[in-house]
A and B are shown apart, each in its own frame.
Chain A
């Protein structure tokens, strides 16, 4: 009897949730929920988390997926959840691959389909977990499948995948420029196929998660419109971004998820009675309150360079513009078999050595980079110098990151640099010559009684440490004290 009540309750909820969705706005989502209610609720028997999934069907996520995939697939999918729709979504691609005459692939696909159905009806008490499992399994299978057919027509597949990915993200192909970048990225990906595939898959999953968060109004950036791998960096080319000036904010919202600045960074870009700010895709948009048009655009990443990730570094610069040794920049950004670094006007460009394809652009502090900008992608790990670690440690609210010149405090949710915690100078090391500009004694007050200059020894302070220097040779002979630890 209790079971009957439970089942009835869940069925009622399943019907009620889509019905309570806003009419018109998420109509498709409502239908998704309805579909789930019809097909799924009776089959599964109920449970709290099932209700959760059905309510997802009504909150707009399903609308997003249905728009891309079409109603037919909705019927195939036994669940209303976003992840499920994503995995179903991949079928058109597989059908295309099938047309490329790959019998092995066809058989794998058959197996996968069966697997999915079987799991779909598994009736687990923790559907969220099941979602993930089901989602991963086809993805893994698909990776194998993609490798199997890769030899057929790599370029064509790349282009198709690009279109597919754009469809998944619900973003129209904007113009030739963007298209070209994405295709270029695909071609590049072809050189490191296996790795790239993994990235794409991970990226799809990740952006799916961001998209879902976004629908709930949480902070997320770099969603949609980006070639894979650039999604979290902010990928809109400057030329494209400039076209958004003078347009309504909704025009920019077509390309990326726009969010309010996190609380910790709002003081850097304060709203006024005349305008307010939104950010997304590596740019900050200033919106005029009087006409709701974008009146200014500030690049938050790449130092506003005209060479951005996805473009090519001029080959004529390759042999000239090495990263300087000042501040230890060249050891922080070294050349390696995996990539080259070049430096032009305060910006470090990380690129493929052979082609000059730019992976990342990192502005340096001495060129005015810092507060209010985005942390360079790929550098969000904790790397604060040892002597400062007791002082600057990551918390749930803030992270700390070191780059030559400064220790930055940043907001982990947005990657925006909120403050400079400490300024650092180029470090000394024992055995090197005392750098230019340290003629004057500079030891902190509390240590002056112990470490004072004599004809035989000088003492100089640098980045938390006190060093001894031989005044005759001007060589740094020892690290004598660390004042921070």
Chain B
């Protein structure tokens, strides 16, 4: 009887170990349910942007690649790879300890809803030369025109020009930038004192 029990236990242990080995632990899990994937459509921003781009590498490190596969819709400002290279060393390090900084920077490049270049143009005209865009990260970007091109300015005064606008996806739109935009200190909701 003891031998029998031992065999049973051994079999269970082997099965358990086998089950563990079968699971792929190193792959990111999809945060989107089947319903959310259906709503997001086939060609999402996450799937449509070049997987080897610096932006997507940073988005993946911050866990935002799966967000951009969701229903959204989002308007995403994507600086080109050269803009990432210009940033101080370590800014876009994909190590876990840098994840909070990456999240702060990237959410400052995501705007709620679908904002096309023509919509920004109209708002600039209405706003007598400038308009404001609230970002998901809590900062605001100022949009102005330089000839035909839209120029975005962040809270720190960094400027970026839209080089390719209206890259349409099933869950939003992407505008490509030639330079990096950074958030203000801890977004708009930085330490607030009474009366402010």
Q: Which residues of A contact B (CB under 8 A)?
A: 9, 12-13, 16, 263-264, 266-270, 284, 296, 298, 319-324, 326-327, 329, 343-346, 364-372, 390-393, 398, 405-406, 409, 417-426, 435-445, 460-463, 484
Contact = CB atoms under 8 A, between A and B. Distances in A.
A228 to B, nearest CB: 30
Given A326-B138, A366-B104, A391-B33, A484 B39 contact: yes
B15 to A, nearest CB: 15
Interface stretch (B21-29, B48-56, B81-89): B21-29
Contacts of B32: 421
Given A425-B112, A460-B113, A391 B71 contact: yes
Given A371-B99, A372-B96, A420 B132 contact: no
A424 B143 CA distance: 22
Interface in B154-187: 168, 186-187
Contact of A263 (B23, B112, B193): B23
Contact of B123 (A284, A322, A369, A440): A440
Given A263-B23, A425-B112, A442-B119, A269 B1 contact: no
A327 B193 contact: no
A268 B95 CA distance: 9
Contact of B35 (A264, A266, A390): A390
16 contacts: A263-B23, A264-B25, A266-B25, A268-B63, A322-B194, A345-B191, A366-B188, A398-B29, A419-B29, A419-B63, A420-B31, A423-B112, A426-B134, A440-B122, A443-B113, A445-B73
Nearest to B133: A437
Interface in B73-131: 73-75, 96-97, 99-104, 107, 110-115, 119-120, 122-123, 126-127, 131
B134 A437 contact: yes
Contacts of B39: 391, 484
Contacts of B190: 345-346
A367 to B, nearest CB: 5
Contacts of A323: 192
Nearest to B187: A366
Going nearest first, the 9 A-B pairs with the smallest beta carbon separation are A437-B134, A442-B113, A368-B100, A371-B63, A419-B31, A461-B113, A366-B187, A366-B138, A263-B25
B122 to A, nearest CB: 7
A12 B66 contact: no
B189 A321 contact: no
Given A264-B25, A370-B62, 7 more contacts: A13-B5, A263-B24, A423-B74, A440-B131, A443-B113, A445-B114, A484-B71
A298 B186 CA distance: 20
Contacts of A463: 112
Interface of B: 1-2, 5, 23-33, 35-36, 39, 62-64, 66-67, 70-75, 96-97, 99-104, 107, 110-115, 119-120, 122-123, 126-127, 131-138, 140, 143, 168, 186-194
Contact of A422 (B70, B120, B194): B70
A92 B30 CA distance: 51
Contacts of B111: 442
Given A298-B97, A345-B191, A368-B103, A409 B140 contact: no
Contacts of A424: 112, 136
A390 to B, nearest CB: 6
B49 to A, nearest CB: 16
A298 B29 contact: no
Contacts of B192: 321-324, 343
Given A435-B134, A436-B134, A442-B115, A423 B187 contact: no
Given A440-B133, A462-B112, A366 B186 contact: yes
A421 B126 contact: no
Contacts of B26: 266-267, 270
Nearest to B24: A263
B73 A441 contact: no
A441 B194 CA distance: 33
A436 B139 CA distance: 11
Contact of A421 (B23, B36, B137): B36
B117 to A, nearest CB: 10
Nearest to A266: B25
Given A425-B112, A440-B133, A343 B67 contact: no
A441 B191 contact: no
A264 B110 CA distance: 26
Contact of B71 (A418, A422, A445, A462): A422
B114 A444 contact: yes
Contacts of B110: 423
A393 B31 CA distance: 11
